[in-house]
Amino acid sequence: MLYRVIKGWIKKYFKHYEPSVLGSQRLFMFDVVGLVSLFTTTLSIVTRTTHPATVMFCMGVMAVTVMLLVLYHIHAISLRGAATTLMILLQLQTSMDQVTLAMLSSSDALPWIMVDTLMSLMLIMISLVGFLKYSPVVVSVTAIASFLISIHYFPDPVLVTLGPFFVFLLLGIIVFDIVSARNTLRLQEENEELKEEVYDFFKASGMSRDQMKAYIALVKESGNSTESTRKLLNYIDLSAQKKILSSVKAVMDENASRMEILGRVFPTLSRSQLSIVQLILQGKKLSEICFLLGKNESNVSSQRSRIRTELNLGPEDDLAEALSQRVQTYLEKRDLFQ
Sign of CA pseudo-dihedral 163, 167, 170, 172? negative
Torsion sign (Cα): 190, 194, 199, 205 = positive
Average pLDDT, the chain: 76
Which H or E element spans position 285? none
SS3 assignment, position 46: helix
Q: Report the alpha-carbon distance of residue 326 to residue 317 in Å, rounded.
A: 13
Alpha helices in the chain (DSSP H): 2-17, 21-47, 52-73, 79-104, 109-129, 135-153, 157-205, 209-222, 226-235, 238-265, 271-281, 286-293, 297-310, 319-337
Full-model pTM: 0.55
Question: What's CA 205's distance to the chain center, in Å?
Answer: 31
pLDDT tens profile 216-227: 555 555 455 545
- Gap between the Cα atoms of 172 and 168, Å rounded: 6
Give me Rg for the CA atoms of the chain.
30
Range in 134-148, 189-203, 285-299 with the lowest mean pLDDT: 189-203
pLDDT tens digits for range 120-159: 888 888 887 777 777 888 888 898 899 899 888 888 888 8
Distant-in-sequence, close-in-space partners of 317: CB < 8 Å, separation ≥ 6: 308
Which domains, ranges and CATH numbers included, belong to the chain?
2-197 (no CATH), 253-337 (1.10.10.10)
